[in-house]
């Protein structure tokens, strides 16, 4: 009888010592085989378009790189992956040429491995904790993960979800970012009826309108949302909770509701001149660029308001959003691009890999500097900034920045992009539900064991719970929330709660 991939994987971990020894011979090649990544397009070539900058491994490359893994007894890569992906197993299956099985193992813990493989900050998660990192460079985990699932799509192994039984219980999900999409996939797998409400005109959240193409091609995202539609998830686009319906309406309509709305209130910068023309919020700028690349007419882009072409651009901030802005400005043909950040390189929140990519593309980083004023007549033309000194680390371990007196200097700027991070919107107010419990930062308060809020049958996941975070954490939360919803419905859900009252 043919064995299922899961059986075969189980066999690998319970196999007799001789089989394990044979497997180890294929693996542990890190001494002989140096680390390699898929080809990266050269900076001059990639700086003029929005195509992804990394290519794909070929079969030989993926097999070789996977074989570098030493199959650790305690795999720290897996411990530090928020999804606890079974990395050693799918690396071994790839090294053995058993790619379809590698795909089955990989997709069992991650709904979107090809997306995480592209945009996780692996240097801080799986790869940064790979134990062969010290003497030899880490295994290229993210690139192999991407290769496995891109190959699965090419081979037709990724099939729409067909639940074994359809269930009558229905779940309403608010927000179609990675948190909402991961929960939708998990709930459909169990047979629940899933309605996804999204205020934008396309599904995907920040995957579609925030993160630029050169990191994550939009076809990769649209392929996944189409796959969910083919799996029976009903998408309601241009449907905003708070405008087209209240939270109470949704609770009436569905047996459980999941809030996965992300965080969108841009943090402001408190300096004179923020009201000047040419000083714009990062997300407005990135959304305009992404829409334009998706083929939409974007008036603010055509008028030049949200277009860096020919301009001296200054981006304020040091996170992923700032990195995406500087690199977008390069591709739009900016005359110069500078990134102003108040801490130093070692203390910036953005991925080091993205900083290196930005530098290669000609971005100038002005470390340890903070803006003092934006000046110009009606429209910005000068940013005045001060140098910063980093003081002694506080209890959180971060050094506090202080201004150095008399250190001010000027930078020419026609476009200033503010990328200082995001806070949650006022959800209880927007949803017309004052009883929805939030923390003092405005994030939705949940019981982390179940992901349920203080409202019966209302769950929450992703950035709206954690604050601005990562795609992989949103996927993890979406999966946890789906498990919490299933547990809740199995226990009787709203009906049980009403009966108990």
Residue ranges that bind ligand FAD, judged by CB under 6 A: 119-120, 174-180, 197-200, 205-206, 210-211, 215, 240-242, 260-262, 286, 320-321, 324, 462-464, 469-472, 474
Dihedral pair phi/psi, residue 388, rounded to 5°: -125, 145
d(CA 323, CA 329): 10
Picked from ligand FAD, ligand SF4, none, the partner binding residue 142 (CB below 5 to 8 A depending on kind) is ligand SF4
Q: What DSSP assignment string belongs to 46-97? A: HTTS-S-SB----HHHHHHHHTT----SS-HHHHTSTT---HHHHHHHHHTT
Dihedral pair phi/psi, residue 457, rounded to 5°: 75, 5
Residue list 170-189, contact with ligand SF4 (CB under 6 A): none
Would you mind telling me the total number of residues written for the chain in this entry? 501
For ligand FAD, which is the closer residue by CB, 52 or 198? 198
The token duo for 434 is 């004052």
Question: In whole angstroms, how far apart are CA 37 and each of 55, 69, 141, 372, 408?
Answer: 9, 15, 10, 41, 42
For ligand FAD, which is the closer residue by CB, 93 or 120? 120
Picked from ligand SF4, ligand FAD, none, the partner binding residue 175 (CB below 5 to 8 A depending on kind) is ligand FAD
Residue list 136-165, contact with ligand SF4 (CB under 6 A): 139, 141-142, 145
For ligand SF4, which is the closer residue by CB, 343 or 479? 479
d(CA 18, CA 388): 61
For ligand FAD, which is the closer residue by CB, 92 or 259? 259
Picked from ligand FAD, ligand SF4, none, the partner binding residue 130 (CB below 5 to 8 A depending on kind) is ligand SF4
Picked from ligand SF4, ligand FAD, none, the partner binding residue 132 (CB below 5 to 8 A depending on kind) is ligand SF4
For ligand SF4, which is the closer residue by CB, 70 or 357? 70
Is residue 333 within 8 A of residue 309, CB to CB? The reply is: yes
Contact stretch for ligand SF4 (CB under 6 A) within 68-76, 203-211, 243-251, 378-386: 68-76
Least distance (Å) between residue 76 CB and ligand SF4: 5
Picked from ligand SF4, ligand FAD, none, the partner binding residue 371 (CB below 5 to 8 A depending on kind) is none
- Count of C-beta atoms within a 10 Å radius of residue 160: 13
Which one of 53, 62, 66, 69 is in contact with ligand SF4 (CB under 6 A)? 69
Asked if residue 26 binds ligand SF4 (CB under 6 A), the reply is: no
Asked if residue 474 binds ligand SF4 (CB under 6 A), the reply is: no
Asked if residue 83 binds ligand SF4 (CB under 6 A), the reply is: yes
Instruction: Scan for tokens 């905003």, then name that residue.
Output: 240
Instruction: Scan for tokens 């690199």, then name that residue.
Output: 327
Helix (H) or strand (E) holding 340: strand 336-340
d(CA 224, CA 386): 45
Helix (H) or strand (E) holding 463: helix 463-466
Which one of 76, 136, 153, 239 is in contact with ligand SF4 (CB under 6 A)? 76
Binding site for ligand SF4 (CB under 6 A): 69-72, 75-77, 81, 83, 85, 87-88, 110, 116-117, 120, 122, 125-126, 130-132, 139, 141-142, 145, 472
């Amino acid at each position: 009888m043919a064995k299922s991939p899961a059986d075969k994987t189980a066999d690998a971990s319970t196999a007799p010592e001789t089989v394990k020894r044979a497997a180890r011979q294929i693996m542990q090649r890190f001494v002989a085989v140096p680390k390699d990544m898929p080809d990266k397009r050269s900076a001059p070539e990639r700086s003029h378009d929005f195509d992804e900058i990394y290519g794909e491994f070929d079969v030989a490359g993926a097999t070789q790189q996977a074989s570098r893994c030493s199959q650790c007894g305690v795999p720290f890569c897996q411990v530090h992956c928020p999804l606890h992906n079974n990395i050693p197993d799918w690396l071994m299956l790839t090294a053995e040429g058993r790619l379809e099985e590698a795909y089955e193992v990989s997709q069992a813990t991650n709904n979107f491995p090809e997306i995480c493989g592209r945009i996780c900050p692996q240097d801080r998660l799986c790869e940064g904790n790979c134990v062969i990192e010290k003497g030899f460079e880490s295994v290229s985990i993210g690139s192999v993960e991407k290769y496995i699932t891109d190959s699965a799509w090419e081979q037709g192994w990724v099939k729409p979800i067909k639940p074994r039984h359809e269930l009558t219980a229905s779940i309403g999900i608010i927000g179609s970012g990675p948190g909402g999409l991961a929960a939708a996939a998990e709930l459909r797998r169990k047979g629940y009826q899933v309605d996804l409400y999204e205020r934008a005109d396309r599904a995907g959240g920040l995957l579609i309108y925030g993160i630029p193409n050169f990191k994550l091609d939009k076809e990769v995202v649209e392929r996944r949302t189409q796959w969910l539609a083919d799996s029976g998830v009903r998408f309601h686009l241009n449907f905003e909770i708070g405008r087209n319906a209240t939270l109470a309406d949704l609770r009436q309509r569905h047996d459980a509701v999941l809030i996965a709305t992300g965080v969108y209130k841009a943090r402001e910068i408190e300096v004179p001149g923020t009201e000047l023309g040419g000083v714009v919020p990062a997300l407005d700028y990135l959304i305009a660029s992404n829409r334009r690349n998706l083929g939409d007419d974007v008036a603010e882009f055509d008028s030049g308001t949200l277009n860096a072409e020919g301009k001296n651009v200054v981006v304020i901030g040091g996170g992923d959003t700032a990195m995406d802005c500087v690199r977008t400005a390069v591709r739009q043909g900016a005359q110069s691009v500078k990134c102003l950040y108040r801490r130093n390189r070692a203390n910036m929140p953005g991925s080091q890999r993205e900083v290196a990519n930005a530098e290669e593309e000609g971005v100038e980083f002005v470390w340890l500097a903070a803006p003092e004023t934006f000046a110009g007549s009606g429209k910005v033309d000068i940013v005045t900034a001060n140098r910063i000194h980093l003081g002694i680390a506080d209890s959180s371990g971060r050094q506090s920045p202080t201004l150095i007196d008399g250190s001010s200097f000027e930078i020419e700027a026609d476009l200033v992009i503010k990328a200082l991070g995001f806070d949650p919107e006022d959800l209880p107010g927007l949803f017309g539900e004052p009883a929805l419990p939030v923390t003092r930062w405005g994030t939705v308060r949940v019981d982390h064991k179940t992901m349920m809020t203080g409202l019966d049958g209302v769950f929450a996941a992703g950035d709206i719970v954690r604050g601005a975070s990562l795609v992989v954490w949103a996927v993890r939360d979406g999966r946890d929330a789906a498990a919490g919803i299933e547990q809740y419905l199995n226990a009787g859900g709203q009906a049980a709660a009403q009966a108990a009252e």
